[in-house]
Protein backbone atom coordinates (compact mmCIF):
# COMPACT_ATOMS: atom_id res chain seq x y z
CA UNK A 1 0.00 0.00 0.00
CA UNK A 2 1.43 3.35 -0.96
CA UNK A 3 1.53 6.40 1.26
CA UNK A 4 -0.90 8.18 -1.08
CA UNK A 5 -3.56 5.50 -0.64
CA UNK A 6 -2.92 5.56 3.12
CA UNK A 7 -3.52 9.32 3.09
CA UNK A 8 -6.73 8.74 1.12
CA UNK A 9 -7.74 6.20 3.76
CA UNK A 10 -7.36 8.87 6.45
CA UNK A 11 -9.43 11.35 4.46
CA UNK A 12 -12.07 8.71 3.76
CA UNK A 13 -12.10 7.81 7.46
CA UNK A 14 -12.73 11.41 8.50
CA UNK A 15 -15.46 11.96 5.91
CA UNK A 16 -18.43 10.46 7.84
CA UNK A 17 -17.21 11.76 11.21
CA UNK A 18 -19.39 14.91 11.42
CA UNK A 19 -22.53 12.90 10.64
CA UNK A 20 -21.90 9.90 12.88
CA UNK A 21 -23.57 11.20 16.04
CA UNK A 22 -25.73 14.05 14.77
CA UNK A 23 -29.48 14.13 15.24
CA UNK A 24 -31.89 11.96 17.15
CA UNK A 25 -31.50 8.33 16.17
CA UNK A 26 -32.32 5.10 17.97
CA UNK A 27 -29.45 2.93 19.16
CA UNK A 28 -30.10 0.04 16.70
CA UNK A 29 -30.32 2.47 13.78
CA UNK A 30 -27.11 4.23 14.86
CA UNK A 31 -25.39 0.86 15.21
CA UNK A 32 -26.53 -0.05 11.69
CA UNK A 33 -25.15 3.27 10.42
CA UNK A 34 -21.78 2.58 12.04
CA UNK A 35 -21.80 -0.93 10.54
CA UNK A 36 -22.47 0.55 7.08
CA UNK A 37 -19.56 2.95 7.59
CA UNK A 38 -17.33 -0.01 8.57
CA UNK A 39 -18.44 -1.87 5.43
CA UNK A 40 -17.51 1.21 3.40
CA UNK A 41 -14.07 1.17 5.00
CA UNK A 42 -13.76 -2.55 4.17
CA UNK A 43 -14.67 -1.83 0.55
CA UNK A 44 -12.13 0.99 0.37
CA UNK A 45 -9.44 -1.28 1.81
CA UNK A 46 -10.34 -3.97 -0.69
CA UNK A 47 -10.03 -1.55 -3.61
CA UNK A 48 -7.03 0.46 -2.42
CA UNK A 49 -4.65 -2.22 -1.20
CA UNK A 50 -3.67 -5.73 -2.08
CA UNK A 51 -4.02 -8.81 0.07
CA UNK A 52 -0.25 -9.15 0.20
CA UNK A 53 -0.11 -6.00 2.35
CA UNK A 54 0.27 -7.44 5.87
CA UNK A 55 -1.85 -4.77 7.60
CA UNK A 56 -4.73 -5.30 5.16
CA UNK A 57 -7.07 -6.75 7.77
CA UNK A 58 -6.21 -4.15 10.42
CA UNK A 59 -6.76 -1.05 8.28
CA UNK A 60 -10.62 -0.88 8.31
CA UNK A 61 -10.67 -1.03 12.10
CA UNK A 62 -8.02 1.68 12.32
CA UNK A 63 -10.14 3.78 9.95
CA UNK A 64 -13.23 3.24 12.11
CA UNK A 65 -11.28 4.17 15.24
CA UNK A 66 -10.01 7.37 13.58
CA UNK A 67 -13.57 8.16 12.49
CA UNK A 68 -14.86 7.65 16.03
CA UNK A 69 -12.09 9.83 17.46
CA UNK A 70 -12.80 12.72 15.11
CA UNK A 71 -16.58 12.36 15.50
CA UNK A 72 -16.34 12.89 19.26
CA UNK A 73 -15.24 16.47 18.62
CA UNK A 74 -18.62 17.22 17.03
CA UNK A 75 -20.57 16.19 20.13
CA UNK A 76 -22.29 18.85 22.16
CA UNK A 77 -21.63 17.40 25.62
CA UNK A 78 -19.34 14.82 27.30
CA UNK A 79 -16.64 15.30 24.66
CA UNK A 80 -13.82 14.35 27.01
CA UNK A 81 -15.37 11.05 28.04
CA UNK A 82 -16.20 9.94 24.51
CA UNK A 83 -12.86 11.14 23.12
CA UNK A 84 -11.07 9.02 25.73
CA UNK A 85 -13.33 6.09 24.87
CA UNK A 86 -12.65 6.49 21.14
CA UNK A 87 -8.91 6.75 21.77
CA UNK A 88 -9.11 3.57 23.85
CA UNK A 89 -10.93 1.80 21.01
CA UNK A 90 -8.15 2.79 18.61
CA UNK A 91 -5.56 1.59 21.09
CA UNK A 92 -7.48 -1.69 21.49
CA UNK A 93 -7.77 -2.21 17.71
CA UNK A 94 -4.07 -1.52 17.19
CA UNK A 95 -2.87 -3.69 20.06
CA UNK A 96 -4.96 -6.75 19.31
CA UNK A 97 -4.54 -6.30 15.56
CA UNK A 98 -0.77 -6.24 15.94
CA UNK A 99 -0.94 -9.16 18.34
CA UNK A 100 -2.88 -11.25 15.83
CA UNK A 101 -0.48 -10.26 13.04
CA UNK A 102 2.53 -11.17 15.17
CA UNK A 103 1.39 -14.78 15.07
CA UNK A 104 2.11 -14.70 11.33
CA UNK A 105 5.69 -13.47 11.88
CA UNK A 106 4.91 -9.83 11.16
CA UNK A 107 6.89 -7.68 13.61
CA UNK A 108 4.94 -6.16 16.49
CA UNK A 109 5.26 -2.38 16.21
CA UNK A 110 5.13 -0.89 19.68
CA UNK A 111 5.62 2.79 18.81
CA UNK A 112 2.07 3.49 17.50
CA UNK A 113 0.63 1.86 20.62
CA UNK A 114 2.82 3.96 22.91
CA UNK A 115 1.95 7.07 20.91
CA UNK A 116 -1.78 6.38 21.32
CA UNK A 117 -1.28 5.69 25.02
CA UNK A 118 0.20 9.15 25.44
CA UNK A 119 -2.89 10.44 23.60
CA UNK A 120 -4.94 10.32 26.76
CA UNK A 121 -2.98 13.27 28.19
CA UNK A 122 -4.16 15.95 25.72
CA UNK A 123 -7.73 14.68 25.98
CA UNK A 124 -7.86 15.43 29.70
CA UNK A 125 -5.57 18.48 29.71
CA UNK A 126 -7.06 20.47 26.83
CA UNK A 127 -10.39 22.23 26.87
CA UNK A 128 -12.29 20.49 24.06
CA UNK A 129 -14.97 23.18 23.97
CA UNK A 130 -12.46 25.61 22.46
CA UNK A 131 -11.38 25.46 18.84
CA UNK A 132 -7.68 25.34 19.68
CA UNK A 133 -8.05 22.28 21.89
CA UNK A 134 -9.99 20.43 19.20
CA UNK A 135 -7.39 21.38 16.59
CA UNK A 136 -4.51 20.08 18.73
CA UNK A 137 -6.36 16.82 19.31
CA UNK A 138 -7.08 16.34 15.60
CA UNK A 139 -3.43 17.09 14.83
CA UNK A 140 -2.39 14.50 17.42
CA UNK A 141 -4.71 11.88 15.92
CA UNK A 142 -3.39 12.68 12.44
CA UNK A 143 0.14 12.18 13.76
CA UNK A 144 -0.93 8.87 15.29
CA UNK A 145 -2.34 7.86 11.90
CA UNK A 146 0.96 8.75 10.21
CA UNK A 147 2.94 6.85 12.86
CA UNK A 148 0.86 3.73 12.28
CA UNK A 149 1.76 3.62 8.57
CA UNK A 150 4.15 0.85 7.66
CA UNK A 151 5.48 0.78 4.12
CA UNK A 152 5.98 -2.76 2.92
CA UNK A 153 7.34 -3.08 -0.63
CA UNK A 154 5.32 -5.52 -2.70
Average pLDDT over residues 23-42: 89
Q: Has residue 48 got a pLDDT over 80?
A: yes
Q: Is pLDDT at 153 greater than 60 in this prediction?
A: no
Measured between alpha carbons, how far is residue 137 from residues 1, 50, 141 in Å? Answer: 26, 31, 6
Q: What is the pLDDT of residue 150?
A: 64
In this model, does residue 20 exceed pLDDT 90? no
Cα–Cα separations (whole angstroms), residue 101 to 3, 97, 112, 114, 146: 20, 6, 15, 18, 19
pLDDT at 136 over 60: yes
Nearest-angstrom CA–CA distance, 121 and 124: 6
Q: Enter the DSSP assignment of 130.
A: S
Res. 9: pLDDT tops 70: yes
What is the structure's pLDDT at 151?
Answer: 55
Give the residue from 105, 69, 101 showing the smallest Cα distance to 88.
Answer: 69
Q: Residue 17 has what pLDDT?
A: 87
pLDDT in tens, 59-106: 899 999 999 999 998 888 888 899 999 999 999 999 998 898 888 888
Q: What is the pLDDT of residue 84?
A: 92
Amino acid sequence: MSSFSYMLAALFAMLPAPFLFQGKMSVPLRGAFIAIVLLGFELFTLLASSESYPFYELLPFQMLALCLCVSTLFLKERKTFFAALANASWLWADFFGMLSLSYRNIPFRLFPILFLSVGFLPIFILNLNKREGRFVLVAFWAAAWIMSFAYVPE
